Amino acid sequence: MRIRYFSMLVATAAAIIAISAYAQNPGAPGGSGGRGGSGRGGRGGSGRGPAVNNDLGYTDTPLVPGQQWHVHDPARPHPPVVTPGENLGDAPSDAIILFDGKDLSHWQPATQVMPTGPVLKPGAPGWKVENGYMEVVLGSGDIATKEKFGDVQLHVVFAEPAEIRGNSQNRGNSGIFLQGRYETQVLDGWNNPTYADGQIGAIYGQWPPLANPAKKPGEWQTYDIIFEAPKMNGETVIKPAYVTVLLNGVLMHVHKELLGPTVHRAAAKYVPQPDEDVLLLQNHNTLVRYKYIWARRLGAYDTPEKK
């Protein structure tokens, strides 16, 4: 009996100590992730210093390994606010609209040359625009953006010809050439046998995709591509290019290292190139359509929001 009474005393004392400690620092770790949910914040330690709103971070935490910032550092810059598109498929507020189904004002004629890159031409592109999309015109050549890009996020909506013609690489072939050099393959992937590193979703000649989520010919499909441009110093590769690709929302490649500009029946290797260059769409003389294309230049971490 006496032992039970003593145990109750100890338990009661422990509860009082715990409640007291919480009252002094309600936002302490071990709670709801430090945000407290109450908006009250804490007093940052002893309570003698100025009030600290722990909803906005902590200054008494260790540094993140390898970084200049404390864990939950309130001084760490906040990223820019980006407004997502209102409707499904709409571009976010900071995107460069390269094609919205209406005109080719952002595009120029070009020729993709392996492996040295795009050759730009004067005049208007030869592809046609109708019914809210652009379509390849046979024999009219490639097209490239007027804008040049380094690291970039791309969203592309395209469709393969509804009427099936040809086979393998001659069936619905086009291509999204990042910096006019690095091809993410556009091909009819619906029951169309071809070599794996040349099928839809492939990094042409280098990496087959992780899956084949191709839709039927004629249906709109989406590519989401995150491209990290290579850094070159003349012939020297400072940093290779990397690419992450989703086709119809399915992962094709994740941060995959590219071996050099796309080549055909040859081993890729890097050659000198500028830091930024155009985005090029391949004309492989099949009637591929593109409906929406937008791009976002990739920012860096800890870049302060512009006010």
Nearer to Mg ion, 142 or 277 (CB): 142
- Taking CB positions, which residue lies at the least distance from Mg ion? 175
> Taking the complex as a whole, how short is the minimal distance between the CB of residue 169 and Mg ion, in angstroms?
7
CB under 8 Å to 156, separation ≥6 — which residues? 176, 222, 223, 224, 225, 290, 292, 293
Strands 117-120 and 96-99: unpaired
Nearer to Mg ion, 187 or 226 (CB): 187
3-state helix, strand, coil in the chain (%, to 5): 10, 30, 60
Cα separation values, 259 from 162, 206, 243, 263, Å? 34, 7, 11, 10
Nearer to Mg ion, 44 or 277 (CB): 277
Residue 268, classed as helix, strand or coil, is coil
Nearer to Mg ion, 34 or 126 (CB): 126
Long-range contact set of residues 252-256: C-beta below 8 Å, sequence gap at least 24: 252/201, 252/209, 252/210, 252/211, 253/201, 253/203, 253/207, 253/209, 253/210, 255/228, 256/203, 256/207
Nearer to Mg ion, 107 or 204 (CB): 204
Where on the chain is the footprint of Mg ion (CB under 5 A)?
173, 175, 282
Nearer to Mg ion, 53 or 248 (CB): 248
